[in-house]
């Protein structure tokens, strides 16, 4: 895997027991304008699951799946795991890597899209952790793979999962006219969406990337099943003060409207998430499922990619692609939907931090 001697899996992190919940929430929301009521509410979501988020176990499973796929390709490069908000924190991961003799890592983030929250904030985490390591006398170089919403591994795995879910609903006798297809992602402030992307020429990269993937999946579903569905994008997990605009519609509000229109079955595909973490098991499987039940709607929740072999193999392809780039080669850069891949080194000012300027790695600024 020249020039890299290690791979860093970088994620959000989550609490593992009730005593972890408050410290975790304080870490997540430090310096952010999240109302207390929202924090208490989110704390309750975690307590409802015994104080344990599913996300860390999902990352452990992803680590094992990446290891198996690397071994299958006879690549012995170690994989290290770090989180933004829970141990092993990113700085701890770098220390562990350094102790193992690793000096140059390629990072895979557990988020597929461009935005401050899903891309630059991880680049800031890398800069902070690298700084901490350097103060302790450890020098580590860090690169990362490109945002992969339109890498074929992620996009095709999602397409297959949605197609199977719709096929299953139709096989059970659902009339196509009474079925709706919703793609779901995490809401973000509209100001964050407006500024997501490489800078002056763009913006709204976060919502546009989801719309592009949703449209491509819908087209494939229709081609495969000979149907005529119109997919649409909805959002979950809004927080922030009520007066601050966030991306809409909320999945629950849209379910209300769909029920009035006469829909009976709603296929909900959480393409914004790579695994079934809290937003999926609470906001969709608990809250949206209750809304649907109250409205008499059948909700069919599509699995997230998780450790789907096509997705995992795509992540290893991305790591090998990044290594080839770093060696100065000109590897093929597969992209679907759209032929334009995001660069693995972000443009200056890409997905800016609107609160405070902070150093970020893996970019040209």
Ligand X SMILES: CC1=C(CCC(=O)O)c2cc3nc(cc4[nH]c(cc5[nH]c(cc1n2)c(C)c5CCC(=O)O)c(CCC(=O)O)c4C)C(CCC(=O)O)=C3C
Between 211 and 326, CB nearer to ligand X? 211
What residue ranges in the chain does DSSP mark as E strands? 6-11, 79-83, 104-109, 141-144, 179-186, 232-236, 265-269, 298-301
Q: Determine whether the annotation assigns residue 111 to a binding site.
A: no
- Beta carbon nearer to ligand X, 44 or 257: 44
Q: Which residues contact 294 (CB under 8 A, 6 or more apart)?
A: none
Q: Is 356 annotated in some ligand binding site?
A: no
Measured from the CB atom, the residue of 51 and 334 that comes closer to ligand X is 51
The answer to whether 362 and 143 have CB atoms below 8 angstroms apart is yes
Q: Cα separation of 269 and 131, whole Å?
A: 39
- Pairing state of beta strands 141-144 and 104-109? parallel
Q: Which of 239, 291, 304, 344 binds ligand X (CB under 6 A)?
A: 239
| Cis preceding-peptide flag for 337 (omega within 30 of 0) | yes
Size of the site for ligand X (CB under 6 A): 25
Q: Does 252 bind ligand X (CB under 6 A)?
A: no
- In this complex, which beta carbon is closest to ligand X, that of residue 258 or of residue 351? 351
Q: Which is nearer to ligand X, 154 or 221 (CB)?
A: 154
**Side-by-side strand order, sheet with 141-144:** 79-83, 6-11, 104-109, 141-144
Looking at residues 13 to 42 of the shown chain, list those that interact with ligand X (rule: CB under 6 A): 14, 25, 28-29, 32, 34, 38, 42
Residue with tokens 């999945």: 251
What is d(CA 265, CA 257) in angstroms, rounded to the nearest whole number?
13
- Residues 162-201 as x/- pattern, contact with ligand X by CB under 6 A: ------------------------x-x-------------
Residue from 4, 7, 20, 53 binding ligand X (CB under 6 A) = 53
Q: Categorise residue 182: left if φ over 0, alpha if ψ from -120 to 50, beta otherwise.
A: beta
Among 83, 111, 207, 344, binds ligand X (CB under 6 A): 111
From the CB of 322, what's the least distance to ligand X, in Å?
19
Tell me if the bond preceding 8 is cis, omega within 30° of 0. Answer: no
Stretch that binds ligand X, among 2-10, 155-163, 275-283, 321-329 (CB under 6 A): 275-283
Residues that bind ligand X (CB under 6 A): 12, 14, 25, 28-29, 32, 34, 38, 42, 53-55, 110-111, 115, 117-118, 186, 188, 237, 239-240, 277-279
Binding-site residues for Fe(2+), in ranges, read 186, 279
């Amino acid at each position: 895997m020249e020039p890299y001697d290690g791979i860093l899996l970088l994620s959000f992190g989550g609490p593992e027991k009730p005593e972890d919940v408050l410290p975790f929430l304080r870490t997540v929301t430090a310096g952010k304008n999240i109302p207390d009521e929202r924090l208490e509410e989110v704390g309750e979501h975690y307590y409802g699951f015994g104080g344990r988020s599913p996300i860390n176990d999902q990352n452990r499973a992803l680590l094992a799946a990446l290891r198996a796929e690397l071994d299958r390709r006879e690549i012995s490069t170690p994989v290290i795991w770090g989180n933004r908000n829970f141990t092993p924190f990113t700085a701890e991961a770098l220390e562990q890597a350094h102790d193992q003799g690793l000096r140059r890592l390629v990072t895979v983030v557990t988020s597929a899209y461009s935005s401050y929250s899903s891309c630059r904030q991880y680049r800031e985490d890398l800069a902070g952790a690298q700084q901490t390591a350097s103060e302790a006398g450890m020098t580590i170089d860090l690169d990362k793979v490109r945002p992969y919403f339109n890498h074929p591994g992620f996009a095709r795995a999602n397409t297959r999962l949605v197609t199977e879910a719709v096929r299953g609903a139709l096989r059970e006798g659902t009339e196509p006219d009474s079925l709706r297809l919703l793609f779901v992602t995490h809401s973000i402030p509209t100001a964050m969406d407006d500024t997501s992307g490489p800078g002056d020429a763009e913006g709204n990269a976060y919502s546009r990337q989801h719309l592009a993937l949703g449209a491509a999946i819908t087209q494939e579903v229709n081609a495969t099943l000979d149907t005529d569905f119109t997919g649409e994008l909805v959002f979950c997990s809004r927080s922030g003060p009520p007066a601050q605009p966030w991306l809409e519609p909320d999945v629950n509000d849209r379910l209300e409207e769909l029920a009035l229109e006469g829909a009976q079955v709603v296929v909900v595909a959480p393409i914004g998430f790579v695994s079934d973490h809290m937003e999926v098991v609470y906001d969709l499987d608990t809250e949206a499922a209750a809304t649907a039940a109250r409205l008499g709607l059948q909700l069919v929740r599509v699995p997230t990619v998780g450790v789907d072999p096509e997705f995992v193999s795509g992540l290893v392809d991305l790591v090998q692609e990044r290594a080839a780039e770093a060696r100065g080669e000109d590897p093929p850069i597969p992209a679907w939907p759209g032929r334009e891949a995001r660069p693995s080194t972000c443009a200056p000012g890409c997905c800016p931090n609107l609160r405070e300027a902070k150093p970020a790695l893996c970019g040209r600024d």
